[in-house]
Amino acid sequence: MFQRTPARNLRFLRIAVGLAIAGFLVCYAMTFIGDSTRQMFLRTKYIDPHADPSLFANTPERLKAAIVILVRNSELDQLLLTLKQFEDRWNKKYNYPYVYLNDVPFTEEFIEQTSAMTKAKTYHATIPKEMWSYPSWINQTKAETTRAQMELDNVPYGGLESYYHMCRFNSGFFFRHPLLDEYDYYWRVEPGVDFYCNIDYDPFAFIQKNNITYGFTISLKEIAESIPTLWKTVKKFIKKYPQYVSPDNSAKLISDNNMETYNLCHFWSNFEIGDLRFYRSEAYLKFFEYLDKYGGFYYERWGDAPVHSIAAALFLDKSRIHFFNDIGYKHGDFGHCPPERKVRKSGKCQCDPETNFDGTQDSCLNQYFSSYI
C-alpha cells in the first residue's frame, strides 16, 4: 500500500507552497497590470467632469434631453425604489423629463405613482405595434424553435418571446418613438437599479460640451450562445459599407485579433447616457436594418447591448465613448463603485469598491482602457 514517508510529505508541502506562491504572484501581477492601465488611462485620456467647475453651476439652461424608461406595469415597485434614488441623487436638481414606454398601456396607478415621484414632466406612452412585433420576413415557426433551443441551453430569458421583441425595440426603435422626437440626448434607466452616489453636475451638458456620444458605467462579456452569427453578420456589413467605420475606432475593445473574432465585450446597455442622433444616423440605421433583415433578433437572441456597443466601437471615434467612473451604479449582481476615495467622498457614495465587478475576469473595462492607450 502507498505510504507517505516524512521525506515525501516534505516534498508535497514544498510543491504546494511553491504553487500557492506562484498563483499569488500571477494574480498580483494581473492586478498590477490592470491597475496601471487604469491609472494610465485616468491620467492621460479620461475627461473628468469634476475638473470642470462650470458643469456644477446650476444654471437654468437645460438640453433637449430625457430620461427614458422602458418598463412593465408589474415592475412599478422596483421602479419607485430606483426613482427615489435617482431623484435624490440627481434629478431633483435638474428636473429633466421622464419618458416611460411600454408595449401595453400603463395603468392609472403606474402613471399616478411615477408622476408623484418628481417635479419634472412625465410622459407615458404605448409603443406602436410595428416597433414591437415580428417583421413580415421573419418565420415565426423558426423563431419558436430558437426559443425552445435557447431555453434548453439555459440562455437567460431564452424562452421568453417578449424578451426578443424588447431587444429588437431597444436596438432599432426606441430613438424613433414619436415621444423622443424632440430630444437629442437620453439617459436610460431600468427598474430595480441603484444609484450609489450624488451626481452634482449635468451629464447631458458634460457629454455635449465634450462631444461625447455614448456613456457607460459597466462593461462585460455577452453570453456566446445568444449571438452565434452576430459577428459574421457585422463583418459582412462593414465589408459592404466600409465608409461607416471610423479611422479612430475602438476595434481593440471588441476584438483581440484584429477583427477576426468578437471577444464578446460590450457596454451594459441598461445604463446609457447618450446622443440619440447617433442612432438616427445613416450608419446606425443601415446597420440595424441589415441585422434585422438577417433575422438574428429572433433566430438567435441578439441583445441591444452588443448591437449598440459594436456600432459605437466601430462607427465612432474612440474619444466619443465615455466611462462614467464617478457614477456609482448597481444592477443585480453587477455594480460599479468609484474606487477612488476622493470621488466617493465628493459624491457621498454608499458603496464598497471591493464588491466592484470591474476587476473580475468577465469585465471588459481593461479592454476599454487598453483600446485607448
Ligand X SMILES: Nc1nc2c(ncn2[C@@H]2O[C@H](COP(=O)(O)OP(=O)(O)OP(=O)(O)O)[C@@H](O)[C@H]2O)c(=O)[nH]1
Residues that bind Mg ion (CB under 5 A): 190, 270
Distance separating alpha carbons of residues 368 and 259, to the nearest angstrom: 15
Q: In this structure, are residues 303 and 172 in contact, taking their beta carbons and an 8 Å threshold?
A: no
The CB-of-160 to Mg ion minimum distance in angstroms stands at 13
The grid coordinates of residue 190 equal 431600468
Is 72 a binding residue for ligand X by CB under 6 A? The answer is: yes
Pick one of 37, 91, 102, 250: the residue that binds ligand X (CB under 6 A): 102
Nearer to ligand X, 40 or 111 (CB): 111
Q: Residue 330 in 3-state DSSP?
A: strand
The CB-of-103 to ligand X minimum distance in angstroms stands at 5
Annotated catalytic residue within 87, 222, 272, 300:
272
Is 166 a binding residue for ligand X by CB under 6 A? The answer is: yes
Give every CB contact of residue 80 below 8 A, 6+ residues apart in sequence: 113, 114, 117
Per-position DSSP letters for 179-208, written without gaps between them = GGTT-SEEEE--TT-EE-S---S-HHHHHH
Is 220 a binding residue for ligand X by CB under 6 A? The answer is: no
Distance separating alpha carbons of residues 313 and 248, to the nearest angstrom: 9
DSSP 164: H
Nearer to ligand X, 49 or 306 (CB): 306
Distance separating alpha carbons of residues 8 and 85, to the nearest angstrom: 61
Nearer to Mg ion, 218 or 254 (CB): 218
Is 52 a binding residue for ligand X by CB under 6 A? The answer is: no
Mask of contacts with ligand X, 310-339, x by CB under 6 A? ----------------------x-------
Q: Which residues pair with 4 in a beta bridge?
A: none
Number of residue whose CB is nearest ligand X: 162
Nearer to Mg ion, 171 or 270 (CB): 270
The grid coordinates of residue 164 equal 426578443
The CB-of-105 to ligand X minimum distance in angstroms stands at 10
130 is annotated as an active-site residue: no
Question: What separation, in Å, do the N-terminal and C-terminal C-alpha atoms of the chain show?
Answer: 59
The grid coordinates of residue 5 equal 514517508
Stretch that binds ligand X, among 5-13, 70-78, 109-117, 145-153 (CB under 6 A): 70-78
In the list ligand X, Mg ion, none, the entry touching 71 (Cβ below 5 to 8 angstroms by class) is ligand X
The CB-of-77 to Mg ion minimum distance in angstroms stands at 15
Is 140 a binding residue for ligand X by CB under 6 A? The answer is: no
Stretch that binds ligand X, among 32-40, 82-90, 137-145, 162-170 (CB under 6 A): 162-170
Q: Which of residues 267-306 bind ligand X (CB under 6 A)?
A: 270
Please name the amino acid found at residue 317. Answer: D
Comparing C-alpha atoms, which of 120, 114, 102 is closest to residue 76?
Answer: 114
Pick one of 190, 194, 225, 256: the residue that binds ligand X (CB under 6 A): 190
Distance separating alpha carbons of residues 275 and 270, to the nearest angstrom: 15
Give me the residue label for grid cell 475638473.
51
In the list Mg ion, ligand X, none, the entry touching 327 (Cβ below 5 to 8 angstroms by class) is none
Distance separating alpha carbons of residues 173 and 128, to the nearest angstrom: 10
Judged by the rule CB under 6 A, the positions of this chain that interact with ligand X are 70-72, 75, 102-103, 162-163, 166, 190-191, 270, 332
